[in-house]
Structure 1
Amino acid sequence: MTRPSSRSALVLGGATLVLLAALLAGTLVGPAGLTAGGVLLELIDRVPLVSVDSGLTLRQQVILWEIRIPRVVLGAIVGAMLAIAGATYQGVFRNPLADPYLLGVSSGAGLGATLAIVLGGAAAQAMVPPAAFAGGMIAVLATYALGRSVGGGRTEVVIILAGVAVAAFASAIQTFFMQRHDDTLRQVYSWMLGRLTTSGWAEVTRVLPYVFVSVAVIFLFRRMLDVMAVGDVEAATLGISPSRVRLVLISVATLGTAAVVSVSGLIGFVGIVIPHAVRMVIGPGHRLLLPVSLLVGAAFLVLADVVARTAMSPAELPIGVVTAAIGAPFFLFVLRRSRGQI
């Protein structure tokens, strides 16, 4: 009885240490002339009852506490949400290739962001996050409406096909507006490739409530995901309503995904790569898979952002390019390893 608990504690402890190391690396490394030693001393200086001189100017302190650290925290939140949403989708649909964008969230959010950029005028920048969030949620609602009209929305296949149709329709409208307003293409593509630029802590506080609710509900239902893995009929005989559980989990995972996408843009492969990598190490049980995916996903995106900030300094790579460069080869590896199982 103690060995599984000890193993779980060891795995969670290891994942937590990885995240803490990633957060420290993301804080210490970056442009703006902040030395790693000075940043480390500044962090120590904020510890209660400890006082040291970091040597940072007031301007550098503002850059650290109002730009770099909020960006690191936002990266951790976005990575955690995408990873746990990916693990949830893969469990709900019993499909190892499922990801957080499966039901048209990405296309709907992309359409909303595009409309805000091309039609928003001077207020475009402020309108992009709410427009992307609304677009992602509307796309998922449309997916469910279409799924119910076709097949009652009771099966994984019907929901996935409805998501494909909604995503294609949203992408077509987005392409139309992009062609009509080609002067905004650079802004649209910048958002679509993903970015973690912040204007302080506003983005963090905006998405945190949605992510907290989503993660809390997913954790409450984590044991039901293990039961649903054996099939809907078997789950129903154990007193679980598969359609109801599926609806709740997809809804909250999509809510959190739409929230983080609204401020980060489209960052691919996190929701596929991280759950797979974690599953290979610790196995398929969702009791451990979900929290470890959350921790590792947060660490992964923070480190990917470090690469995006420093690889071509002083220029900055879109973080979606970095995650794709890492995720695409891993995705091909997963496909090869899963031959005959998908």
Structure 2
Amino acid sequence: MSTATTAPGRPPGTAALRRPAAVRLAWLGAGVALLAVLFVASVAFGVRDVSLTEILAAMRGDAGGIGEAAVVLRVPRTVLAMIVGAALALSGAAMQAVTRNPLADPGILGISPGAALAVVIGIAFFGLSNPYSYIGVATIGAALAAVFVYAVGSAGRGGATPLKLALAGAASAAAFTSLVSAILLPRVDILETFRFWQIGGVGGASWDRIAIVAPFLALGAFICLVSARSMNSLALGDDMAAGLGVRVGRARLLAAVGAVILAGAATAIAGPIGFVGLVIPHLCRLLVGGDHRWLLPFSAIAGAALLTFADIVGRLITRPEEIEVGIVTALIGAPVFIWIVRRQRVREL
């Protein structure tokens, strides 16, 4: 597989793989087809496998049988897995563009753990119970975590280098996760309620929950997508982007806001799920190149596919019990994280 040469003015290591439009469209079509197959598989497989006839009957509104009833329950779960996976992948791709850091990810940079900590604090000490308040508090927690990690990573000589941001994010994520455990352990009632949410999962999904979170995810996705062109300019470096007429600070802030909204809302509804935002953008760059106008939508499709696949695997390998998707994505993402570190040597995009 050949790579394009580095564009003039682009730092070493930022060369984007270029692909003809026909190849990109082919990969997008393949991604959509794979997502459709995973949707059917997610509805069909679980504690009780469901036949195609039962799926079609349930889609027509017949929920009288056990299989049809299972389909009715699995469809919103599948939809939630898809929109959360798409949101996390979009958020990760935007964070990598904003920081020019190949290791940027809502989990690794401490943003998802920061959102989780904010939600737990709100529930334990302020009695939050409204789903909208969960999303608002999670978004605020994600934003504060992002600011904190960037401030720590910017300290000292050299400013916010990719290595310093990665280390600051990893340390902050560990601290936030420990604080969540410290708050939950003495509170048995809260601990039982959020035991699986803390791991990260899409079980118990309903259309009401999806309707609550969908506007926030749509807003975050819209902000990231309209920032795609400015993300391409940021990849050239701040000086080059400014020379092209891009307001660097404004572009970086807008893309970061979209990423934080996506990460906060996804964490509020599904818990802190890691590695999706790290793995997917790297895979998508290999397939469709580094142009964010293509990379962002393809990342959304691939992220939806990954989380849906992880949910299917978690339901099948230990049935009738389930493994939450947060555990499955960690098992998939950890080796990829190590590979990226060894391959990129924590250099800038």
Q: TM-score range by the shorter chain?
A: 0.7 to 0.9
Q: Equivalent residue for 1:255? A: 261
- CA distance in structure 1 between the partners assigned to 2:103 and 2:154 by the alignment: 22
- Matching of residue 275 in structure 1 with residue 275 in structure 2: no
Percent identity reads: 33
Picking from 21, 25, 44, the partner of 2:41 is 25
Q: 2:153·2:161 contact (CA, 8 Å) conserved in 1? A: no
Q: 1:113·1:188 contact (CA, 8 Å) conserved in 2? A: no
Structure 2 runs not aligned, ≥5 long: 1-18
Deviation, 1:45, is: 3.9
- CA distance in structure 2 between the partners assigned to 1:323 and 1:330 by the alignment: 11
CA pair 219-58 structure 1, distance change in 2 beyond 3 A:
same
- CA distance in structure 2 between the partners assigned to 1:252 and 1:172 by the alignment: 27
Q: Secondary structure at the match of 2:246?
A: coil
Question: Which has the bigger relative contact order, CA under 8 A and spacing at least 6?
Answer: 2
Q: Secondary structure at the match of 2:318?
A: coil
Q: Equivalent residue for 1:64? A: 71
Q: Equivalent residue for 2:56? A: 41
- CA distance in structure 2 between the partners assigned to 1:200 and 1:147 by the alignment: 36
Picking from 178, 192, 215, the partner of 2:198 is 192
CA pair 14-225 structure 1, distance change in 2 beyond 3 A:
same
Q: Secondary structure at the match of 2:204?
A: coil
- CA distance in structure 2 between the partners assigned to 1:23 and 1:239 by the alignment: 43
CA pair 193-220 structure 1, distance change in 2 beyond 3 A:
same
2:209 maps to a residue whose letter is E
- CA distance in structure 1 between the partners assigned to 2:40 and 2:196 by the alignment: 27
Deviation, 1:243, is: 0.8
RMSD (Å) for aligned C-alpha atoms: 3.2
- CA distance in structure 2 between the partners assigned to 1:86 and 1:323 by the alignment: 14
Deviation, 1:171, is: 4.8
Q: Which moved more, 1:209-218 or 1:267-276?
A: 209-218
Q: Which moved more, 1:246-255 or 1:280-289?
A: 280-289
- CA distance in structure 2 between the partners assigned to 1:182 and 1:192 by the alignment: 14
Deviation, 1:310, is: 1.9
Q: How does 1:96-135 map to 2 (within 5 A)?
A: 96-101=102-107, 104-115=110-121, 118-119=124-125, 126-127=129-130, 130-131=133-134, 133-135=136-138
Q: 2:284·2:298 contact (CA, 8 Å) conserved in 1? A: yes
Deviation, 1:27, is: 1.3
Q: How many residues are matched? A: 325
Q: How does 1:1-342 map to 2 (within 5 A)?
A: 4-31=20-47, 33=48, 35-42=50-57, 45=60, 57-58=64-65, 60-65=67-72, 67-101=73-107, 104-115=110-121, 118-119=124-125, 126-127=129-130, 130-131=133-134, 133-141=136-144, 143-144=146-147, 156-157=160-161, 160=165, 170-171=176-177, 173-181=179-187, 184-339=190-345, 341=347
The structure with the largest helix share of the pair is: 1
Q: Equivalent residue for 1:49? A: none
- CA distance in structure 2 between the partners assigned to 1:328 and 1:102 by the alignment: 11
Q: 1:278·1:293 contact (CA, 8 Å) conserved in 2? A: yes
- CA distance in structure 2 between the partners assigned to 1:103 and 1:42 by the alignment: 45
Q: 1:117·1:187 contact (CA, 8 Å) conserved in 2? A: no
CA pair 198-229 structure 1, distance change in 2 beyond 3 A:
same
Q: 1:92·1:246 contact (CA, 8 Å) conserved in 2? A: yes
Structure 1 runs not aligned, ≥5 long: 47-53
Q: Equivalent residue for 2:4? A: none
Q: Equivalent residue for 1:50? A: none
Q: 1:109·1:136 contact (CA, 8 Å) conserved in 2? A: yes
Q: 2:107·2:173 contact (CA, 8 Å) conserved in 1? A: no
- CA distance in structure 1 between the partners assigned to 2:109 and 2:153 by the alignment: 15
Question: Residue by residue, what CA displacement relative to the aligned partner does 1:177-231 show, whole Å, maximum 9, x if unpaired?
Answer: 2354366545444222111123520111111111111112211111111111010
Q: With structure 2 as the length reference, what TM-score do the two structures score?
A: 0.81
Q: Which moved more, 1:265-274 or 1:197-206?
A: 197-206
